[in-house]
């Protein structure tokens, strides 16, 4: 954004050094270079003391198009921080949760009450309300900030935030069981693989032959109406078969 070098003026027509316009309009309010421009025509002192709202200056020497708050006070010693020949701080003196009241300059204590100086006989304004204001990027202290995320719609912002949280919760609820199932599957696969390996080794191992003899019973074979009887004795010693003998008879 191009630098706006227009001159700014305080309510009495004196120049306001180190103040810059808050908008590109012909007549617009100004804030200090260390302040934040608000779109309600005021400034927020953020770069220096006091850290309060304030009335700044105006590009129009006659103060046309700029806020009237705190622009008509005298130069009494009680309200030097709200003189029309300089900037004016704006102090909050009352807040009940829905309504706020403000004073020009520093408030004063009278008995047990906090009052504006104007309520004690000085010239000036009675306590007043201030319109809500939003930050203007690209001006004054935020000259290098081009965009700000819009959070004015609390409902949408909360809804988006809750939706994000909801989606995250769903993802975690689905992902954790799936992860557990995957881990169980891997463990099962390892166990089955080891079991199959042990079974394979058992099947491929040589089977030792017992030395006990295996006896074959008498076998009768009939040939052409004759019966042939053969007794065989086979003994396996160390895996080697031996034929002990046999006999045959003709009946």
Locus of tokens 């930050």: 135
pLDDT tens digits, one per residue of 14-47: 999 999 999 999 999 999 999 999 999 999 998 8
Closest CA to 125 of 175, 85, 91, 160: 91
Instruction: Please provide the DSSP assignment of 94-149 as one string.
Output: EE-SS-EEEEEB--EEETTEEE-GGGGT-SSPPPB------B-TTSGGGTT-----
Cα–Cα–Cα angle for 138, 131, 111, nearest 5°?
120
Residue 82 has pLDDT above 70, yes or no: no
Least confident of 66-75, 84-93, 97-106, 161-170: 161-170
> In sequence order, what are the residues at sequence separation of 6 or more whose Cβ sits closer than 8 angstroms to the Cβ of residue 85?
10, 11, 12, 14, 75
Q: If DSSP codes are grouped into helix, strand and coil, which group holds residue 228?
A: strand
- Residue 43, both tokens: 């400034």
Which H or E run includes 214?
Answer: strand 214-215
pLDDT band with cut points at 50, 70 and 90 for residue 116? confident
Residue 160 has pLDDT above 50, yes or no: no
What is the pLDDT of the chain when averaged over all its residues?
73
All structural domains of the chain with their residue ranges? 19-88+131-148, 214-243
pLDDT tens digits, one per residue of 170-226: 555 545 566 677 777 677 677 877 777 777 766 666 655 555 554 544 445 454 445
Identify the pLDDT of residue 70.
Answer: 86
């Amino acid at each position: 954004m191009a630098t706006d070098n227009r001159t700014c003026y305080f309510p009495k027509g004196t120049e306001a050094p180190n103040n810059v316009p808050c908008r590109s309009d012909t007549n617009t309010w100004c804030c200090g270079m260390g302040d934040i421009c608000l779109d309600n025509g005021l400034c927020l002192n953020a770069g220096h003391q006091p850290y309060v709202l304030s009335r700044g200056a105006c590009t129009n020497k006659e103060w046309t198009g700029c806020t009237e708050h705190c622009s008509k006070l005298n130069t009494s010693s009680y309200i030097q921080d709200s003189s029309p020949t300089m900037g004016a701080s704006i102090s909050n003196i009352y807040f009940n949760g829905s309504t706020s009241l403000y004073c020009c300059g520093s408030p004063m204590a009278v008995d047990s009450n906090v009052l504006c100086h104007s309520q004690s006989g000085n010239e000036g304004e009675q306590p007043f309300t201030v319109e809500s204001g939003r930050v203007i990027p690209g001006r004054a202290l935020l000259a290098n900030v081009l965009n700000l995320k819009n959070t004015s719609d609390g409902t949408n912002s909360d809804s988006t935030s809750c939706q994000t949280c909801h989606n995250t919760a769903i993802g975690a609820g689905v992902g954790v069981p799936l992860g557990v199932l995957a881990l169980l599957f891997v463990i099962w696969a390892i166990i089955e693989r080891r079991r199959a390996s042990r079974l394979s080794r058992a099947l491929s191992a040589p089977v030792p032959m017992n030395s006990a003899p295996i006896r074959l019973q008498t076998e009768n074979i009939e040939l052409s109406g004759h019966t042939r009887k053969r007794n065989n004795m086979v003994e396996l010693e160390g895996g080697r078969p031996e034929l002990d003998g046999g006999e045959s008879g003709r009946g």
